[in-house]
């Protein structure tokens, strides 16, 4: 495991930072929000494809070199800084990972190039209740003559309102809560029987509730072995948590930087408010938390690339700490900005709204804290 970037990864990071700064500033999210786009942004998708960002973990040739999850993490962090709504986490990370870890050679040959080229976007349709609970799947996939018939309802699917393909977690055996009996299916978003209810969300990124009514898919829609879907899903969810944590690190860093700048400019009682020790110590504590979370995210990304045995533990560490970090920093960002922090025209509120969505996706801090304890035998 290493905390250092390769030269290629550094260049990728610099490109991603510049792109987020120049093309996807926070004002871009405001424009999307105010125009009612609800996170749908075809022109940005096109630019991301041209930059090659969709294919960061997909090699040109099977077994070839890539920037790895460490590289993708740099992009997600850069986009987190400006709260950008892009399909990268769902498509470049989750979609590519599902296919790489569980797809057949034919599925990989068909879909990985389309992911890498940005031609097809994906969304993982997993949760069925208001809280992340990956085994709690009631959606059923029943065998029919040539394949499966899917019935069920998924809630708050990120990118579900604009993805081309859905990766649906359904039950082919057992009861909600059972690990055995889950299966993963590739379902086109426009397939007959798929009903998408677009959601307007607090972070202006949007999402969807998706209902499956007698949706039929062929045998080749199944990813991996039937009933064994958890074996693919769990490492994918670890990667998703790590990628989400990388994005959160970027958001927390930006909110912190904004706060620091305000402390260094705003005057009250004839003094810079940043000269008050009560605010200085809170800023210093936030900085300590930021640096420590940065270590966790870097370690988790690197371990995932190397396929280390402690990826699950590090994923929970990174997501739990990133959740606490972004919660703390977004709240302090609003508070330290005072009245202006409560206004829509200022950015702190946008960071706080996005933070709560980030915290909930792929397991809250308390969910991952509990899992960390479980993984360590207590």
Query: Interface with other proteins by CB under 8 A: which residues?
Result: 2-4, 260, 263-264, 270-272, 274-277, 280-281, 283-285, 287-288, 291-296, 298-299, 317, 320-321, 366, 369-370, 372-374, 376-378
Of the candidates 246, 227, 226, 228, the one whose C-alpha atom is nearest the C-alpha of residue 238 is 246
Write the DSSP assignment of 320-363 as a string of letters.
HHHHHHHHHHHHHHHHHHGGGGGSTTSSHHHHHHHHHHHHHTT-
Shorter beta-carbon distance to other proteins: residue 123 or 296? 296
In a 10 Å sphere around its CB, with 0-12 CB exposed, 13-18 middle and 19+ buried, how is residue 101 labelled?
middle
Least spacing, CB of residue 359 vs other proteins, in Å: 15
Least spacing, CB of residue 378 vs other proteins, in Å: 4
Least spacing, CB of residue 282 vs other proteins, in Å: 9
Q: What is the DSSP letter of 95?
A: I
Task: Tell me the C-alpha distance between 288 and 299, whole Å.
Answer: 17
Least spacing, CB of residue 258 vs other proteins, in Å: 13
Shorter beta-carbon distance to other proteins: residue 91 or 316? 316
For residues 288, 294, 295 and 298, what is the CA-based torsion angle, rounded to 10 degrees?
180
Shorter beta-carbon distance to other proteins: residue 146 or 288? 288
Shorter beta-carbon distance to other proteins: residue 11 or 138? 11
Least spacing, CB of residue 367 vs other proteins, in Å: 11
Shorter beta-carbon distance to other proteins: residue 2 or 144? 2
In a 10 Å sphere around its CB, with 0-12 CB exposed, 13-18 middle and 19+ buried, how is residue 331 labelled?
middle
- Do the beta carbons of residue 331 and residue 351 sit within 8 Å? no
Task: Tell me the C-alpha distance between 270 and 273, whole Å.
Answer: 9
Rg (CA), the chain: 21
Least spacing, CB of residue 168 vs other proteins, in Å: 30
Shorter beta-carbon distance to other proteins: residue 136 or 151? 136
Least spacing, CB of residue 269 vs other proteins, in Å: 10
Task: Tell me the C-alpha distance between 333 and 341, whole Å.
Answer: 7
Task: Tell me the C-alpha distance between 252 and 20, whole Å.
Answer: 15
Bridge partners of residue 170, in order along the sequence: 183
- Do the beta carbons of residue 25 and residue 44 sit within 8 Å? no
Shorter beta-carbon distance to other proteins: residue 104 or 295? 295
Shorter beta-carbon distance to other proteins: residue 153 or 370? 370
Instruction: Tell me the C-alpha to C-alpha distance, in Å, between residue 154 and each of 72, 158, 202.
Output: 27, 11, 19
Tokens 């490109």 belong to residue: 15
Least spacing, CB of residue 292 vs other proteins, in Å: 4
Shorter beta-carbon distance to other proteins: residue 199 or 283? 283
Shorter beta-carbon distance to other proteins: residue 129 or 295? 295
Task: Tell me the C-alpha distance between 315 and 240, whole Å.
Answer: 9
Of the candidates 280, 222, 205, the one whose C-alpha atom is nearest the C-alpha of residue 28 is 205
Least spacing, CB of residue 119 vs other proteins, in Å: 38
Least spacing, CB of residue 320 vs other proteins, in Å: 6
């Amino acid at each position: 495991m290493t905390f250092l970037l390769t030269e290629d990864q550094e260049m990728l990071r610099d490109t991603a930072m510049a792109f987020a700064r120049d093309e996807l500033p926070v004002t871009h999210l405001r424009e999307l929000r105010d125009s009612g786009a609800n996170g749908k942004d075809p022109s940005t998708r096109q630019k991301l494809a041209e930059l090659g960002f969709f294919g960061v973990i997909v090699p040109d040739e099977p077994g070839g070199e890539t920037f790895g999850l460490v590289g993708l993490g740099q992009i997600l962090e850069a986009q987190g800084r400006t709260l950008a709504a892009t399909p990268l986490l769902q498509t470049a990370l989750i979609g590519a990972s599902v296919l790489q870890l569980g797809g057949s050679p034919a599925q990989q040959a068909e879909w990985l190039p389309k992911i890498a080229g940005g031609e097809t976007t994906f969304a993982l349709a997993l949760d069925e209740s208001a809280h992340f609970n990956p085994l709690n799947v009631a959606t059923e996939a029943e065998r029919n003559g040539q394949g499966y018939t899917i019935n069920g309802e998924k809630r708050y699917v990120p990118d579900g309102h604009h993805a081309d393909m859905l990766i649906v977690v359904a039950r082919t055996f057992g009861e909600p809560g059972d690990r055995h009996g889950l299966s993963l299916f590739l379902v086109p978003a426009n397939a007959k029987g798929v009903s998408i209810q677009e959601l307007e969300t607090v972070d202006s990124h949007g999402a969807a509730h998706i209902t499956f009514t007698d949706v039929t898919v062929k045998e080749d829609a199944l990813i991996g072995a039937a009933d064994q879907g958890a074996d693919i899903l769990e490492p994918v969810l670890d990667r998703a948590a790590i990628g989400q944590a990388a994005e959160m690190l970027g958001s927390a860093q930006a909110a912190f930087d904004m706060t620091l700048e305000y402390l260094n400019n705003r005057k009250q009682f004839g003094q810079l408010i940043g000269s008050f020790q009560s605010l200085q110590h809170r800023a210093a504590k936030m900085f300590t938390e930021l640096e420590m979370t940065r270590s966790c995210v870097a370690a988790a990304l690197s371990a995932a690339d190397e396929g280390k045995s402690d990826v699950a533990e590090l994923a929970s560490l990174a997501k739990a700490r990133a959740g606490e970090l972004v919660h703390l920093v977004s709240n302090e960002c609003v508070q330290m900005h005072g009245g202006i922090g409560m206004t829509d025209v200022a950015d702190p509120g946008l960071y706080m709204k996005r933070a709560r969505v980030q915290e909930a996706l792929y397991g809250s801090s308390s969910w991952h804290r509990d899992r960390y304890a479980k993984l360590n035998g207590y």
